[in-house]
Amino acid sequence: MSTARAAVVQMTSGADRDANLDAAGRLLRAAADAGARLAVLPENFAFMGAHETDKLAFAEADGAGPIQDFLAQSARALGLWIVGGTIPLAVPGDAARVFAACGVWNDRGERVARYDKIHLFDVELPDGRGERYRESASIARGAPQPVVVDTPLGRLGLSVCYDLRFPELYRRLTAAGADVLCVPSAFTERTGAAHWDLLLRARAVENLCHVLASDQCGTHPGGRRTFGHSCIVEPWGEVSAACGAEPGIAVAELDAERRAALRRGFPVLDHRRLS
């Protein structure tokens, strides 16, 4: 079968982990009921506190903990592949930081891939309003290695949020065989309004890949606002399904034969000369 259905999940996560997991469970059930074979949760889906360091209290050891148990159990119960947004995983020997780990669970509840976010959002937005972020204060940078995994949708390349601004990562994912790119995110409201759609469509077009982009939305503890508008983008740049500014899901069919035909007829990936 050349087509498979995917879902992106949009949430307004807060500081109550169990409430967030309940909300994620309902949305994953909706995705499975809509026929999705794979669903993508947003960055920080299980916890978004008022301060970056708040997540340290919810750090889990690799392979064990309530968040990872939830993802494994949900994948198995729903018969659904799940990209688990990001999870705060403990850094051996460093109690002050965690990895922002994006894992993939298959429909048997087995984790089959892990990617740790490598580009950390240490910025002050250039508008004079004093909106600052410093992820490196509480997040350890992952190893700069592309992670690609076989799924029912094709070869899935993993990335997270701020990675979207670094096209060289996506070139490496495509070179490693990625057909579909995954971008769980918590894009700020202002940067999202300016760049979210633009960057997602660019990553799709320049790599002739489908893009699955799940985002946080609304207002979170501490007043942080995220953009929403989670979407699924076609390899030619069309947005085939999208959310608005509220929690929910967007679902679309991914056509592998059309993607392959585009790559054959428009062989831009074969024409690169700076690799």
Active-site annotation, residues: 43, 117, 161
Is 111 exposed, middle or buried, given 0-12, 13-18 or 19+ CB atoms closer than 10 A? middle
Q: How far apart are CA 171 and CA 208, in angstroms?
A: 11
65: left (phi over 0), alpha (psi -120 to 50) or beta: left
